[in-house]
Amino acid sequence: MTSEIKTKRLKDILARVGSVKSLTDASVRLANIDRLFKSALPSLLADYCQVKSCSTRELTIEAYSQAVATHLRFSSPKLLEKLQKHKELGKLEIITIRVGTVPQKPGLNTPTQKPNSVSKENCDLLQATAKSIGSNDLRAALERLAITLDRHRNKKPPL
């Protein structure tokens, strides 16, 4: 007496389970929206933020530094205009920017930079943001901050 065992692909089995399918669909949708969002950004910013959630009206973005968040906030009207051209985001009204932490890659337990340090990229972003600001006072403050942070970044720690 032989019994035939038919194997099925896990993907096919999970596709039939409603809750798993809805999670998979939501994940794919969010990844697509993240891709659309990043394509609307200057390439320098794309690696320093990601879409965290999206409803019909609101897109929530997590920036990995305050400098990136500031740049995104100032750019949000233009970004909103670009994103609304896509069918999936046509009814979008609000872009919310939050500051979060950089996702850790699996298996890495040591930070790549010392605590309280600012990367060269963040200093460059502050400078770029300052140049795009209309307010002289705000521009000057951002430029001073970028210079101060860059000086601090280049200091060698005491032995």
Higher pLDDT, 31 or 105: 31
Of 37, 84, 80, 63, nearest to 129 by C-alpha is: 63
Task: Tell me the pLDDT band of 105, cut-offs 50, 70 and 90.
Answer: low
- What letter represents residue 153's amino acid? R
Kindly report the CA angle at 84 between 78 and 89, in degrees rounded to 5? 130
Please tell me the pTM assigned to this model: 0.56
CA dist 77 → 87, 121, 144 (Å) = 18, 23, 26
pLDDT score of 113 = 47
Residue 115, pLDDT > 70, answer: no
Q: Is the C-alpha dihedral spanning 83, 56, 47, 121 positive or negative?
A: positive
Report yes or no: 83 and 38 within 8 Å, Cβ to Cβ. Answer: no
Evaluate if residue 148 carries a pLDDT over 90: no
State how far the alpha carbon of 27 is from the alpha carbons of 16, 21, 23, 126, 145, in Å. Answer: 17, 10, 6, 32, 38
Mean pLDDT of the chain: 82
Please indicate whether residue 20 or residue 120 has the higher confidence score (pLDDT).
120
The gap from C-alpha 68 to its chain's centroid, in whole angstroms, comes to 9
- Mean pLDDT throughout 40-65? 91
First to last CA, the chain: 78
pLDDT number for residue 141? 84
Residue-wise pLDDT for 80-101, tens only, equals 999 999 998 999 999 999 999 8
CB-based contacts of 91, cutoff 8 Å, min separation 6: 56, 57, 84
